[in-house]
Structure formats: C-alpha cells, structure tokens
C-alpha cells in the first residue's frame, strides 16, 4: 500500500519501545548499522541544502574553479516577487500538478475497479499497465515528441483519418501545457491504478458478499462500500502525487523546454535555467529555498490530511 510508508513516517512508534534485554555489542552495532545512512543524509542532503540557504543571501561568481561570494541580504528574495517567469512557473506547475494528478486518480481508480472485476487476464493487464512507470521520463518525452509531431505524429495522422485538421500540439501556446498534462497522465495513471488495485484487493471480501446477498447493484456497491473504504488510500495517493508532480522536469525539458513563450514554464525548469544557463547561483538558490518551503508546506497539509482521516 502506498499508505504503508506514510504510516511508517507518521504513525510508527515501535522504534524506541518494546525493548528486549540489552546485549553486549548493541551500542556499537547500533551505530555501525545506522551511521552510513546518517552520514550520507548529513553530507549529501543537509549540508548541500544548508549551503543553498547560505548562497541565497549571496552573489556568487565562479572563476577558474574558485568562487567569490558577496553578501547581498534579502535582495534575491525581494527580486523573486517581481520575477514574471518564476510566477508563470508556479502557476503552470500548480495547474499541471492538479490537472494531471486529478486525471490520474479518476482514470486509475476506474481502471482498478474494472480490473478487480475480471479474473481472466488480470495479471496480463497489470503487466502492461506497469510499463510506463519503468520508462525513463526523458524517453517518455522522446516518445511523445514523436507522437505529437505536427507532420508525421501518430496523433495528427489519426486525426487526419477522421478528417480533423492537423494541430501543432506542442508548438501552440493553447495546447502545449495540455499536451504535457496528457503525457503525464499517460505516464502516471498506471501507478495510481496499481496502488488502487492493491487497495481494492485488500478490502475484506465478506462485506461485498453480504451486499450481494442484500441485492446491492454494482453502482451501490461502489458508492456505499468500495468508495468509503478506499477514501484514505485515495486522499493520500492524491496528496503525495500532487507534491511529487511538483518535481516535473524531464518531460518538459524534452517536449517543450518551457515554451512556447512561458506556456509550459514549470518551476524545475526555471530553476535549471537560473542555475545552469544563466549561472545566477545566488538567485537560483533563493528560488530553490522558496520552492522547498512551498513543497514542505504542501507536505504538512498532506500529512495532516492523512492524520485527520486516520482518526475517523
């Protein structure tokens, strides 16, 4: 279950309790087993993020492997407020994340419900649906760059057969973001499907049998039994996919590079440009800190939503 790890994080209290007798080599091995992970996290996550935080108050220039830093106070953060690209990136990322994840939820749940009803072929369906999860994001970008190509893409070819005009899906501002959303739905619906199918399979079967005996119609069964039981899984999956959709980068990098104009500018891409195209490390750091703050905020909301549901 997707909720398992979340439960590990939010609800597990067995770590320090239920102690057995103490053993001689315990203290040493306790540290030996934990310290590699602790060292890795301190060195490669806490330290670089602290570094990022410090850099966000500085102007940094690199010259021949050495950096010169000068303190600029809050000016980077002030500049963020009037950065049109950053604002466009935030808006697009929100639209993208919300629409894509909502689509994945609905389709994933629908397919999982259907799949749970069939006995023959369920394993085969599942095997097929896993495929997109395993494909690199950049390759998914490549696949859909071909599929959505104006001249020879399968989508426009199919539309031509139906007598519909060709359309420049990625090149026109009205459909570029929509196209990226559809690609993301194609990419991650299978994942939601898989989690929901596992969730449905783990529901107690006797309730469904009792409902059948009482003459419940399939729709009633879904409305009054499956859906209420699945709500916690649905909410948690939604919240966490939403937060993770904020990381979107690979597909956008390959499909549109943020264009046309700022139509598909997403925060990760804005960050990438500030850091690596424009070399504005201090300003990019401030932007990163702002994004990380936003993500943490979303995470807190997601976790408290989960806790609220856990009580009922």
Instruction: At 62, give phi and psi (nearest 5°).
Output: -100, 135
For the segment 98-137, give every residue that binds other proteins (CB under 8 A): 111, 114-115, 117-118, 121, 125-137
- Taking the least distance from each CB to other proteins, the nearer of 79 and 216 is 216
DSSP 8-state class, residue 43: I
Give just the sign of the alpha carbon dihedral 245, 246, 247, 248: positive
- Find the binder of other proteins among 80, 85, 102, 143 (CB under 8 A): 143
What 3-state DSSP class applies to 33? helix
- Taking the least distance from each CB to other proteins, the nearer of 57 and 272 is 272
Q: Count each helix (H run) and each strand (E run) in the chain, helices first.
A: 15, 2
Residue span binding other proteins (CB under 8 A) among the ranges 78-86, 97-105, 224-232, 265-273: 265-273
CA atoms of 149 and 156, how far apart (whole Å): 8
- Taking the least distance from each CB to other proteins, the nearer of 75 and 149 is 149
CA atoms of 258 and 264, how far apart (whole Å): 4
Is 284 near other proteins (CB under 8 A)? Answer: yes
Q: Where are the beta strands (DSSP E) in 93-203?
A: none
CA atoms of 205 and 61, how far apart (whole Å): 64
For the segment 293-312, give every residue that binds other proteins (CB under 8 A): 295-296, 298-299
Is 177 near other proteins (CB under 8 A)? Answer: no
Is 142 near other proteins (CB under 8 A)? Answer: yes
Residue span binding other proteins (CB under 8 A) among the ranges 72-80, 83-91, 223-231, 288-296: 288-296
For the segment 228-257, give every residue that binds other proteins (CB under 8 A): 240, 243-244, 246-247, 249-250, 253-254
Is 214 near other proteins (CB under 8 A)? Answer: no
CB of 252 to other proteins, least distance (A): 11
Q: What share of the chain is helix, strand, coil (3-state, %, to 5)?
A: 75, 5, 25
CA atoms of 99 and 189, how far apart (whole Å): 12
CA atoms of 291 and 279, how far apart (whole Å): 18
CB of 11 to other proteins, least distance (A): 10
Is 213 near other proteins (CB under 8 A)? Answer: no
Binding mask 180-199 for other proteins (x = CB under 8 A): ------x---xx--xx--x-
């Amino acid at each position: 279950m997707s909720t398992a790890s979340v439960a590990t994080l939010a609800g597990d209290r067995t770590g320090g309790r239920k102690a057995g007798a103490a053993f001689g080599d315990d203290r040493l091995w306790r540290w030996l087993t934990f310290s590699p992970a602790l060292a890795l996290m301190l060195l490669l996550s806490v330290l670089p993020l602290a570094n990022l935080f410090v850099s966000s108050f500085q102007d940094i220039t690199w010259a021949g492997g050495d950096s010169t830093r000068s303190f600029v106070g809050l000016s980077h953060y002030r500049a963020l407020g009037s950065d049109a690209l950053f604002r466009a990136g935030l808006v697009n990322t929100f639209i993208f994340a919300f629409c894509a994840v909502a689509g994945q939820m609905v389709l994933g749940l629908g397919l999982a419900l259907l799949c749970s009803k069939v006995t023959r072929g369920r394993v085969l369906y599942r095997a097929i649906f896993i495929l997109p999860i395993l494909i690199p994001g950049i390759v998914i970008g490549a696949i859909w760059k071909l599929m959505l190509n104006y001249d020879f893409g399968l989508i426009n070819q199919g539309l031509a057969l139906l007598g519909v005009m060709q359309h420049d899906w990625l090149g026109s501002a009205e459909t570029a973001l929509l196209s990226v959303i559809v690609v993301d739905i194609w990419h991650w619906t299978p994942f939601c499907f898989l989690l929901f199918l596992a969730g449905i399979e783990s529901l107690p079967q006797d309730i469904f049998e009792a409902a059948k005996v009482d003459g419940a119609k399939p729709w009633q069964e879904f409305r009054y039994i499956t859906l209420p039981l699945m709500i916690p899984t649905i909410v948690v999956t939604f919240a966490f996919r939403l937060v993770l959709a904020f990381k979107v980068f690979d597909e956008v990098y390959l499909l549109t590079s943020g264009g046309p104009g700022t139509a598909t500018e997403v925060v990760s891409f804005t960050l990438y440009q500030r850091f690596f195209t424009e070399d504005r490390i201090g300003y990019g750091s401030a932007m990163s800190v702002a994004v990380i703050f936003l993500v943490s905020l979303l995470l807190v909301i997601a976790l408290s939503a989960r806790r609220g549901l856990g009580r009922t």
